[in-house]
Structure 1
Amino acid sequence: MKKFKLSLLVALSLWFLIAMAACSSNETDTGNDSSSNEGGEWDGQSINVQLIGDFNMEDTTDPITGETTKGLQDIKDQFESEHPGATVEFTIMPWEGYTEKTQAMLTSGEADVYQMPGIADFAAQGVLEPIQPWIDKDDEFSTDIFIDNQVEGWMALGPDSNELEVYGLPFLGDARFIMYDKQLFDEWGVEYLSDYPTMEEVAEKAKQMTGTNPETGEQNYGIWFRGDWSSAFTLINIAEGQGGQWGTGFAWDEIEFEFDSPEMISGIDWLLEMQNFAPEGLVTNQGNEKWLTKDNNIAIMLNQGPGDTIMPAYAQGLDDRIGIVQEFKNDEGIGGLFAGSPITMAKDSENKELAWEWMKFATSDTVQQYVFEEANAMPSVSSVETWDSYAEVKDLMEPTVEAMSTPWTPRYPWASSQPRFILTSEIEAALTGERSGKEALEKAQKESVEWLENR
């Protein structure tokens, strides 16, 4: 009996040791063991990241090309594997109405990190965490990774700031430039646009290529530009090309608009003239249906961006046919809308350390390459020029990266606010003949100043 009891005791002891070893092995595999998690630093911590645009969690397949695009799940898995015990969730919203939706999320404290093109408005509300202190105390992070002027472009004023501060890190890059169809230039016998064209050059060449194509017999148009959504930025850039500007100041109580300046009035008159060499439908974003197709009938496209032009051009096999040159620049080589999206941290985030880890991860090559190769968006980091995927589209990407480094910075403070929409509406009124260009801009100036005073 004693021998049986002793054997049973030994057996139970062995079973217990094996069970403990198995548990230890399981904890290591799942990342729950504190020794594998640097003391469990991220255990139970969770952040919500808000993103805007055409992001998807799961992989998607294009029904026409059959190409598969990776979803954010891959990014989520990698971040969580590098931060054992942590969880990142995403809230994805469309561009339509994003400002109002972001405001609602901030008010209710729904997210920790936000993609935020309208950073100037939100920083002034005191709802965003200043980022410079996080940069200063993190020896492993440097803003040198970004394309020139990307950090400066998103600087903003806080509620008690006297100087511009860093409230976000560049996430999605963007730029504005002029595109043109080399084939149409060749067919008309017109010299290609110079790398830094003037208004006079664009106008002259647009006129020359409006009419019946001498080779194809098809109707061609010399120029196209949006007369609605982005028209305010197009006009501001034309003023910049003449040495003018939208106005001065950054804080709302210091801003002075110059929407009715001589350069702005000359600019809108120029657009009204260019309308004669464009297809109908500018103010409803129409007339450009053949752009980036083999049947294209438009020679010059103003105020274009990379997201919906560069990759489609390569996908259609039109990359050799398309040229990119810079928007209008002032005497210092500066001009054009600073565009894209930074990422910011909510002031009331309960997991700021993890939120900062995500912000760094989002600006790493891992995520930036995902943005470029899977989400069809522009990266903000200078390392893009070393990627194989960049080399494949270098002819169109090279001038795009240059355009990203030379816009007006910091970003127009009113770019996501009511003055933009006031100006846009008045440009539409001029393009539709409701008012003269001068009358439209005088009205835009008056209403924008009134909005500023009553804000």
Structure 2
Amino acid sequence: MLRKLGVCTAAAGLLVTAGCSGAGSLGTSANEVTIALVSNSQMTDAQKLSPEFEKANPGVKLKFISLSENQARAKITMSTAMGGSQFDVAMISNFETPQWAKDGWLLNLSDYAKNTPGYDLDDFIPSLRDSLSYEGNMYSVPFYGESSFLMYRKDIFQQAGITINPDPSYQPTWQEVAGWADKLKTSNRAGICLRGKPGWGEILAPLDTVINTFGGRWFDDKWNAQLNSPQVKNAVNFYVDTIKKSGELGASSTGFQECANLFGQGQTAMWYDATSAVSVLEDPKTYPDLVGKIGYLPAPIVEKPNSGWLYTWALGIPKAAKNPDGAWKFISWMTSKEYMKLVGEKLGWARVPPGSRTSTYTQLPQYEAISKSYGPLTLQSITNATPNKPTVQPVPYTGVQFVGIPEFQDLGTRVSQQISAAIAGQQSVDAAMDQSQKYAEVVGKSYQEK
């Protein structure tokens, strides 16, 4: 109970209106499936298409609760941790899934999947499948997956006289990228957009990959905090300096969505972020002027190759769900091969949820045709991600753009606030990392005492 209360207390700081008991009447019925989703574009598409599910499953009524990422994490964490039956389906990630499976908070979905004709668990990209598993069984299944890569405007590069190495195995270095950004910036255009908004899922997502490839790490193999090490400080200084020199204005409040808007509107020449951004950027209905103008390169490196992150929004069933069978029916529909095809046919092939199933890239010729510039690199980046060996030197944790321990939600948020303050010019990077080191030492010590 102590750990549950700790989780609930941490989450309460993010969403004070949610109750830890998970109680509260939602007007549920025996055939109703209550689904908590993050309000990203791909999830909004699923809600638009949900009448197709209800048509095929008469009598089953779907109830969606759509929340921003921070709200969703807080509310879903509190309800699930306290054994609440508020949700039948919960959208979680590869950060929560193995931890919650170990704690007994989720239903094992492997048997459900094996007993569903044509569902094909083996079709999920292996790195994602492993990241959502505990002791050989899957406890959530991926809706979409992502790694990270560098997006750039080919036309702007050409105008600036910058030529990209055409070798398919080429990986740019961060030093090269910073040089391009400096050359590409103008009075009304940033050279690169990099997240600076506080949040362990915001600025720390791209920044952690930079720290890793610079040879840094959060903890050494004995759980000694390393956030004030030369490698980490070099990486953070590089990131902050690049933003200040060539990045977007107001970077300390810029997250994924803000960078997407800037890149889509031609206000930045490059953007390093999630591979899933293509669902918006490559949609001709959203940005018709961008079609054919975006180039893609692997995540930039320094020391460590394959520095891209690994992340997936997935669907799981809390242990106390009121309607687990109905929940699985919906989950198996929303993560199926048939759903991918349905999205393409109804909403456009650029809107197909990327990075979850291998068959999306090998058995959907329409998607393969429109994704030639980014599909193979997306698949390669997800496949080559190394969450079990994220750093140059050994570490006791897993996760590329996060540290796979429960305390990271709070620790990462605190550290991110320090770094965002450095980006805003409120303190130096050294001061930010010295304070961050103190936060990390508390967490590291708790693991040393176990």
Same fold (TM over 0.5): yes
User: Would you say the 8 A contact 1:175–1:339 is kept in 2?
Assistant: yes
Q: Does 2:370 align with 1:396?
A: no
| Cα deviation digits, residues 212-234 of structure 1 (max 9, x gap) | xxxxxx65432221211422122
Q: Residue in 1 aligned with 2:427? A: 435
Q: Which residue of 1 aligns with 2:60?
A: 87
Partners of 1:242 and 1:454 in 2: CA distance: 27
Indicate the SS of the match to 1:226: coil
State the distance in 1 between where 2:211 and 2:185 align.
Answer: 25
Q: Which residue of 2 aligns with 1:311?
A: 282
SS in 2 for 1:224: coil
| Aligned AA (2:122) | D
The aligned counterpart of 2:360 is 384
Aligned partner of 1:378: which letter?
P
Provide the C-alpha distance between the structure 2 equivalents of 1:199 and 1:137, rounded to a whole number of angstroms: 47
- Tell whether the 8 Å contact from 1:239 to 1:263 is kept in structure 2 after alignment: yes
Paired amino acid for 2:374:
L
Shift of 1:408: 3.8
The residue number in structure 2 matching 1:224 is: 193
Measure the CA separation in 2 of the matches of 1:141 and 1:392: 25
- Deviation at 1:174? 2.5
Code of the residue aligned with 2:38 in structure 1: it is I
Change (3 A) 1:339 1:109: same
Contact 2:36/2:67 (CA < 8 Å) preserved in 1? no
* Alignment-derived partner of residue 296 in structure 2: 324
Q: Deviations over 1:276-295 (max 9, x none)?
A: 112321112268855223xx
Are residues 1:270 and 2:270 paired? no
In the alignment, residue 445 of structure 1 is paired with which amino acid? Q
Corresponding position of 2:412: 420
Structure 1 residue runs of 5 or longer lacking an equivalent are: 1-43, 61-68, 157-162, 212-217
Residue pair 1:292, 1:313 contacting (<8 A) in 2 also: no
State which of 103, 112, 133 in structure 1 corresponds to 2:88. Answer: 112
Q: Quick one: structure 1 residues 134 and 58, their matched pair in 2 at CA, closer, same or farther if it must change by over 3 Å? A: closer
| Sequence identity percentage | 18
The question of whether the paired residues in 2 share the 8 Å contact of 1:371 and 1:379 is answered with no
SS at match of 1:359: helix
Secondary structure of residue in 1 paired with 2:314: strand
Partners of 1:335 and 1:119 in 2: CA distance: 22
Q: Distance in 2 between matches of 1:57 and 1:181?
A: 27
Q: Distance in 1 between matches of 2:309 and 2:219?
A: 14
Q: How does 1:28-427 map to 2 (within 5 A)?
A: 47-54=33-40, 70-78=48-56, 80=57, 87-95=60-68, 96-106=70-80, 107=82, 108-117=84-93, 118-120=96-98, 122-134=100-112, 141-155=119-133, 166-192=138-164, 195-211=170-186, 219-229=188-198, 230-247=202-219, 257-274=225-242, 275-285=244-254, 290-293=262-265, 296-307=266-277, 309-312=280-283, 315-329=287-301, 333-370=305-342, 374=347, 377-378=353-354, 380-385=356-361, 386-387=363-364, 388-409=366-387, 411=399, 412=402, 413-414=404-405, 417-427=409-419
User: What whole-Å deviation, never above 9, does each CA across 1:107-127 have from its counterpart, x for those lacking one?
Assistant: 430222221123355335422
Q: Distance in 2 between matches of 1:219 and 1:300?
A: 14
Equivalent AA in structure 1 for residue 317 of structure 2: M
User: In the alignment, is the contact (CA less than 8 A) between 1:272 and 1:431 conserved in 2?
Assistant: yes
The residue type paired with residue 52 of structure 1 is V
Question: Which whole-Å CA distance do the structure 2 matches of 1:205 and 1:127 have between them?
Answer: 47
Residue 438 of structure 2 corresponds to residue 446 of structure 1: yes
SS across alignment from 1:185: helix
Counterpart of 1:337 in 2: which secondary structure?
Answer: coil
C-alpha distance 55-395 of structure 1, shift in aligned 2 (>3 A): closer
Contact 2:146 2:274 survives alignment (8 Å): no
Change (3 A) 1:52 1:256: farther
Is the 8 Å Cα contact of residues 354 and 360 (structure 2) preserved in structure 1? no
> What CA distance in whole angstroms lies between the structure 1 residues aligned with 2:415 and 2:423?
12
CA 1:426/1:280 → structure 2, altered by over 3 Å: closer, same or farther? same
Q: Is the 8 A contact 1:313 1:322 kept in 2?
A: no
The change in CA–CA distance for 1:77 and 1:58 in structure 2 (over 3 A counts) is farther
After TM superposition, the structure 1 stretch with the greater mean CA deviation from structure 2, 328-337 or 171-180, is 328-337
Please tell me whether the aligned partners of residues 179 and 301 of structure 1 are also in contact (alpha carbons under 8 angstroms). yes
Q: Please tell me the residue identity of whatever aligns with 2:241.
A: E
Tell me if structure 1 keeps the 8 A contact 2:298–2:308.
no
In structure 1, what is the Cα distance between the partners aligned to 2:136 and 2:223? Answer: 14
- CA radius of gyration, larger in: 1
- Rounded to whole Å, the distance in 2 between the matches of 1:287 and 1:135 is 37
Segments of structure 2 that go 5 or more residues without pairing to the other structure are 1-29, 388-397
Contact 1:58–1:72 (Cα < 8 Å) also in 2: no
How far apart are 1:265 and its partner, in Å? 1.1
Partner Cα separation in structure 2 for residue 143 and residue 219 of structure 1: 48
Closer, same or farther in 2 for the Cα pair 1:371/1:267, shift >3 Å?
farther
Q: State the TM-score, normalized to the length of structure 2.
A: 0.73
Q: How far off is 1:189 after superposition? A: 0.7
| CA distance in structure 2 between the partners assigned to 1:339 and 1:322 by the alignment | 23
Provide the residue aligned with 1:28 in structure 2: none
Measured after TM superposition, the shift of residue 199 of structure 1 is 1.2
Query: How many corresponding residue pairs?
Result: 381
Structure 1 counterpart of 2:196, one-letter code: G
- TM-score normalised over the length of structure 1: 0.72
CA contact (8 A) 1:55 1:71 kept: no
